[in-house]
Structure formats: C-alpha cells, structure tokens
Amino acid sequence: MTEFEHALLAEFPAQELALPTSDPRYELAAAAVLGALEHALAVRAAAQVGAMNSAAAVLRMQYEGLLRAAWLLFAANPAQVEKLAMPLSLAAEKGAKNLPGNLGMLAEIEKVAPPGLVAPLAQFNQFSRHALNSFVHVGIHPLARVRTGFPAELAETVLRFSAGLMHLAYRLLATLTGSQELMDRVTRLHSAFSDCLPVHKQPNS
C-alpha cells in the first residue's frame, strides 16, 4: 500500500496542487481530499502498531472525507459552498450544521457525479458503513474484537478498502487539476497494485 501511495504521489511532483481556478468549490474539495489522504496514512500507521480497531474507525473518516470532497465538487450548491468557505467561527459552525449528512450527500452525488466515482462510494456505504460506525462509537464490533482478537482476514480487508479509497482520492485530485492526461494515468495505476486493492473490479471512468 505504501508503494502504491508513492506511485500515486509521483504523479503530483509539485509541492502544491495546481488548481485551474480559485473557486472556493475547488479549494474546499481539494482540502477534503487531502484530509481523506491523511486519514489513509493514519489507517496504515494504526495497523502497523496493531491498533486495528482504531484503523477501522479512521477508515470510516477516510470515506467521509472523500464523500465530502465528491459532494463539494459535483453536487453542493453555491450557498452550501459559501457556508463551508467561511472563516472558522462559532457562527460559521452553527451555519454548517444544516448541511447534508452522509446519506444526503451520497444521494445528491449519485445524480450528477461520474459513475466511476459513484459506484465505489455507494458500494462502500452499502457494505461497510454500519460496521465501521460501530468502531467509531465503540459498539458491538470493537467490543467483540477486543475480547476475541481482530482476524487477519478482516485486517487485510480494512487495508484494502483504505487503499481503494486512497486511489479514488488521487483520482479526484487529478480531476481537480483539469488534466485529462493526469486523470488517465492515475486511474490506470490500479492495475499494477491490484494485490493491495479491493477484489472487485476497479471502474474505468
């Protein structure tokens, strides 16, 4: 997974992401993607020290960061973007409370975003969100895993899902640059690292 990340990073050699516009929509989407990538790093760090319950909880955060980025880029209306672009304050925090939650964002994304982005986000939500929510809130899943241990197969699944979401995040970063050539290169990278990705077929668009 680390080698996969290095290969993806190599496609973005500049220190700062070059956005084609100063539109807050693009800047906020980029910030959300970078936050999701930070969570991907935290998932691996937790796994390396055997803290798989923490890794599973952070995986949920990684997904939510990517979901927020996709929503900001493709579905958020100007008023919603403006609320999230406001300088951080108590008033801004209160104003952002009525923004869509995860299911609302996903429903809006499904109407307008590219299928290659929508499909894995929807699949992750369908098959993983509830279990990972349990890890975030110390529900039945982590309580059972602490008592009986974290199965190696499940740990591998967590890392594979994290790698898949990481790939989607870099694809979204490439989309934000506006370079079709970069988008194509980043998308194709999955073929060389299929051993660390989810077993389902990766989308091509």
| pLDDT at 146 (0 to 100) | 95
Low-confidence ranges of the chain (pLDDT < 50): 201-205
- Is 29 in contact with 35 (CB distance < 8 Å)? no
User: Which whole-number Å values give the CA distances from 144 to 26, 92, 150, 158, in the listed order?
Assistant: 41, 39, 9, 16
Helix, strand or coil, per DSSP, at residue 150: coil
The pLDDT tens digits for 78-87 are: 999 999 999 9
User: Which whole-number Å values give the CA distances from 78 to 20, 48, 75, 159, in the listed order?
Assistant: 18, 41, 10, 35
| pLDDT at 196 (0 to 100) | 87
| pLDDT at 205 (0 to 100) | 40
DSSP string covering 36-104, please? HHHHHHHHHHHHHTT-HHHHHHHHHHHHHHHHHHHHHHHT--HHHHHHHHSPSSHHHHHHGGGS--HHH
| pLDDT at 199 (0 to 100) | 65
Question: Assign residue 50 a region: left if phi > 0, alpha if psi is -120 to 50, beta otherwise?
Answer: left
